[in-house]
């Protein structure tokens, strides 16, 4: 998995190197460790702030080249605004703001994880590190040349100076897996459709097995046997066959009802016979974003050894207008036995999502009642599905 920045944690006493990033509030006040690191450069910050009308507002920055009195090539001051108004999610933003000011290259970066009223808590420092990684992400794998003025990818070695190195590392080790899951989802969405089609998407989802996720891939024969006519009707217009992928993570108690996640995975959507206008059709490679999110989520749960049972199911198809494509006026039969008349073939998402939840429903029932007996997937159209917002906190 590509990662633009390498993040580590060091004590406050470590001498800054390369680019120095610090935080101040709306009164331009720094913490004790930051003030010690800045030394005489603190006066330069105040003069530069007055010249640039920098007020320390949340997310604002002040960039000083070759600051006086410290061994740093650049000094970046990130404003946090009023201390009383700082919220938990702001630290993710602060990390992203810092990363946005770093230029392409392989510079060393030191970030002093301190607020004016004291050191950041371990979880807050970890959030800054996560924000750095998320903002530094760039997808340019297929570019052979850069446009004039276009920044190359950032590759930085970042040290976060903290009060408690062990606690910060522990906090980041957990959140880092969530960032990994986000980056996996981004990678899937950004891949071109001639590279990421249903079979290849399913193969990549299968890599979750390395983390202990049970992955089942249903091909056309298996889906036909299950009666998944709604999904297969969408897929039949493409030379690339559809797939359904079911992922199971069993980190909770045995027999405990799992959380279910469903993702639409239309790897490319032309609209089918009811074809879309050509303008911006290239963006329809992203119509599999829901499926990408489910794969990223399952990665995060497994990598963190989350104490939860979870089932993720994704339907993967291409919606194409060839001679075998379904037509307006066709009638298909979904896995539940419900017939559906096709009025507009560009309404493919609801057809995919008519069948996939039933597959997931069987998995939910199987996890609860065990897998010793045969389960008819059609019997569970009313299976309970729920989304747990706090699942990543398990």
Helix pair angle (198-206, 289-303), 10° resolution: 10
Closest CA to 288 of 322, 310, 262: 262
4 within 8 A of 155, measured Cβ to Cβ: yes
- Rg (alpha carbons) of the chain, rounded to whole number: 25
Q: Report the alpha-carbon distance of residue 115 to residue 95 in Å, rounded.
A: 13
Specify the residue for token string 């911006």: 280
* Token pair for 8: 């580590």
* Token pair for 115: 């607020």
**Catalytic residue from among 36, 141, 350, 384:** 350
273 within 8 A of 325, measured Cβ to Cβ: yes
What DSSP designation does 275 have?
A: P
87 is catalytic: no
* Token pair for 301: 């749960």
Q: How many CB atoms lie within 10 A of CB 2?
A: 12
**Catalytic residue from among 101, 138, 170, 276:** 276
276 is catalytic: yes
Edge-first strand order for the sheet with 259-269 is 214-218, 243-250, 309-319, 259-269
What is the four-CA torsion angle of 251, 256, 257, 263, rounded to 10 degrees? Answer: 10
Q: Which residues are catalytic?
A: 276, 350
């Amino acid at each position: 998995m590509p990662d633009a920045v390498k993040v580590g944690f060091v004590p406050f006493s470590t001498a800054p190197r390369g680019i120095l990033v610090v935080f101040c509030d709306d009164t331009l006040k720094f913490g004790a460790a930051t003030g010690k690191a800045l030394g005489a450069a603190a006066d330069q910050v105040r003069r530069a702030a007055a010249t640039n009308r920098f007020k320390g507002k949340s997310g604002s920055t002040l960039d000083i080249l070759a600051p006086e009195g410290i061994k740093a090539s650049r000094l970046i001051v990130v404003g946090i605004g009023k201390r009383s108004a700082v919220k938990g999610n702001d630290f993710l933003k602060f990390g992203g703001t810092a990363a946005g000011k770093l230029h392409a290259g392989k510079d060393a970066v030191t970030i002093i994880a301190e607020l004016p009223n004291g050191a950041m808590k371990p979880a807050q420092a970890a959030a800054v590190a996560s924000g750095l990684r998320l903002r530094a992400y760039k997808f340019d794998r297929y570019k052979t040349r850069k446009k004039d003025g276009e920044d190359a990818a950032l590759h930085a070695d970042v040290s976060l100076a903290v009060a408690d190195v062990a606690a910060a590392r522990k906090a980041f080790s957990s959140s880092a897996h969530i960032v990994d899951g986000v980056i996996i989802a981004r990678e899937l969405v950004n891949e071109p459709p001639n590279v990421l089609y249903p079979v290849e998407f399913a193969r990549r989802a299968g890599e979750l097995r390395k983390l202990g996720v049970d992955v089942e891939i249903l091909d056309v024969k298996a889906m036909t046997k299950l009666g998944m006519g709604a999904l297969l009707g969408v897929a039949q217009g493409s030379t690339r066959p559809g797939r359904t992928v079911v992922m199971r993570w069993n980190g909770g108690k045995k027999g405990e009802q799992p959380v279910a996640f469903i993702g639409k995975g239309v790897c490319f959507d032309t609209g089918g016979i009811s074809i879309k206008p050509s303008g911006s059709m290239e963006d329809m490679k992203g119509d599999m974003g829901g499926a990408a999110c489910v794969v990223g989520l399952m990665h995060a749960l497994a990598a963190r050894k989350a104490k939860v049972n979870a089932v993720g199911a994704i339907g993967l198809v291409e919606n194409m207008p060839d001679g075998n494509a379904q037509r307006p006026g066709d009638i298909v039969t979904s896995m539940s036995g419900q017939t559906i008349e096709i009025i507009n073939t560009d309404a493919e998402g609801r057809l995919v999502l008519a069948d996939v939840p039933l597959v997931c429903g069987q998995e939910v029932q199987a996890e609860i009642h065990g897998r010793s007996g045969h389960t008819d997937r059609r019997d569970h159209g009313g299976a309970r599905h729920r989304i747990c917002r706090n699942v990543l906190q398990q």
